[in-house]
Structure 1
Amino acid sequence: MEIGIRSFFLGLVCTLLSFSLFAQLSEQESEQETEQSVIQPSVERRDINEANIDSENFEFGMLVGVISIEDFSSSMVLGVRAAYHINEDFFVEATYGQAEAGETSFEVLSGGAPFLTEAERDYRYYNVSLGYNLNGETFFSDRWVFNSATYITLGAGSTEFGGDERFTLSLGAGYRLLLTDFFALHINMKDHLFNSELIGEEKTTHNIEYGLGATFFF
């Protein structure tokens, strides 16, 4: 009887050990399958050629437009523009422009003596500005996509007009469309502010210029 009880318990222990060993082996196999399932498949690498974009920082070009000289109507303006791009966001630009002022409304209506001589009607300005780019892209179609930027400028310079030279502040905004890696078109607006007393008491005049430009990078 005692031998039978021992045999029974021995068989029970062996059975439990067998189940425990089987459970451990099953758990190990499950872990191995999990590890194998999270392994990333092998992906062949591809060689990609980056676009060959020029890295020139200097920009030079011409501009043409219309400038509204306060109290002296609007006139055609011609000029040049040069810029140095410090980085993708900031640039420094220098501009020079010239125009010929028209007559005041009083001169037109009264037919009296002009306020200015022909030489004094020459309007010339130059300024140096700091600009900031808001870079982006312009889509004309799925295949026609161009780099572009909307920019603002703040600068100072001088204006020669009415036989005098005045310190001038300039505030501007523009849009640049880069057609190739070295050629760009511009649309811009700039306000030239300086003090003048040509037709009365001294006041701050706003001389707003609208222009188109073409520039080259080199």
Structure 2
Amino acid sequence: METRIQYIFLMLLLVFVPKMAFSNDEKLAKEQTFETQESSEQKDHDASKLVEPTIKRRQVDIAKVDAEDFEIELFYGAMNVVDFGTNPIESLVLSYHVTEDLFVSASYGQTKTEQTSFEVISGARLLTDAERNLRYYDLNAGVNLLPGEGFIGKNIAFNSAFYAVLGVGSTKFAGDQRFTYSGGLGYRVILKDWSAVSVEVKDHVFNIDILGKNKTTHNLSYQLGLSFFF
């Protein structure tokens, strides 16, 4: 009889113990799932509390050329005339901007040359004072190259561009009018909507025969200019 009771007790243990273990595992799994959801919700809540960075955008004032197409420019610099030294030069340029990148211009410049080394050594005068004055006139076509921007400090920006010009004209020097080719490169900075500054190097090519031999000369000018748009 006692053996039968033990047998029944063992059978009950075999039936209910696995069920209890499964119930405990299921309860543990539910608790872990709940904790995971709670942790995820907590992370989302914490993420919502993250401080959004405040980006302070600075205002940049960029000068641009107004709709006006005409430009007048005053230049001052130096010009090297072959055999006659390097001397101060003034010039005036009137430009018309056909498009944003293309322009045409007319220019006038003048300088007074010095004596040649031959004149200094020999004492002979090859030119009169009036003939030493050099004046040139030319018509040019130009193109703006490599436009860009520069900054002064944190809040001031300016537009700038390199430019190239080619032209033909006439140079009056040593008593004659001399057909002239010209070409140059410059760099322009827009200061205001109505003004700009430029640095320009230009080659004036013409023939000269003052010293007894006709030769082609390259006469370079280096100038700084201030321009106004209208």
TM-score in terms of structure 2 length = 0.68
Shift in CA distance, 54/196, structure 1 to aligned 2, threshold 3 Å: closer
* Residue 34 (structure 2) pairs with residue 25 (structure 1): yes
Contact 2:62 / 2:158 at 8 angstroms: preserved in 1? no
Contact 1:77 / 1:97 at 8 angstroms: preserved in 2? no
The aligned runs of 1:1-218 (5 Å cut-off) are 1=9, 2-39=11-48, 51=61, 53=63, 55-56=65-66, 58=69, 59-81=71-93, 82=95, 84=97, 87=100, 90=101, 92=103, 94-102=105-113, 103-112=115-124, 114=126, 118=130, 121-126=133-138, 127-132=140-145, 133=147, 135-138=149-152, 147=158, 149=160, 151-162=162-173, 163-174=176-187, 176=189, 178=191, 180-186=192-198, 188-198=199-209, 199-218=211-230
Shift in CA distance, 47/153, structure 1 to aligned 2, threshold 3 Å: closer
For 1:138 and 1:49, how far apart are their aligned partners in 2? 13
Describe the SS at the equivalent of 1:14: helix
Contact 1:193 / 1:204 at 8 angstroms: preserved in 2? no
Describe the SS at the equivalent of 1:64: strand
The count of aligned residue pairs is 211
Gaps of 5+ in 1: none
What residue in structure 1 maps to residue 3 of structure 2?
Answer: none
Describe the SS at the equivalent of 1:155: strand
Between the aligned residues of both structures, percent identity stands at 15
For 2:157 and 2:18, how far apart are their aligned partners in 1? 86
Describe the SS at the equivalent of 2:75: strand
Runs of 4+ in structure 1 deviating by more than 6 angstroms, as ranges, are 42-50
Give the residue type in structure 2 aligned to 1:79. S
Shift in CA distance, 38/93, structure 1 to aligned 2, threshold 3 Å: farther
For 1:18 and 1:185, how far apart are their aligned partners in 2? 83
For 1:48 and 1:71, how far apart are their aligned partners in 2? 55
Contact 1:73 / 1:101 at 8 angstroms: preserved in 2? no
- After superposition, what is the alpha-carbon deviation per residue over 1:10-59, rounded to whole angstroms, capped at 9, x for unaligned? 11111011111112222222233333444465689999877485541544
Contact 2:76 / 2:90 at 8 angstroms: preserved in 1? yes
Contact 1:95 / 1:128 at 8 angstroms: preserved in 2? no
- After superposition, what is the alpha-carbon deviation per residue over 1:122-155, rounded to whole angstroms, capped at 9, x for unaligned? 421323332334531345xx89x56374735342
TM-score in terms of structure 1 length = 0.71
Gaps of 5+ in 2: 1-8
Describe the SS at the equivalent of 2:181: strand
For 1:31 and 1:85, how far apart are their aligned partners in 2? 65
How far is 1:194 from its partner?
1.4
Contact 1:128 / 1:157 at 8 angstroms: preserved in 2? no
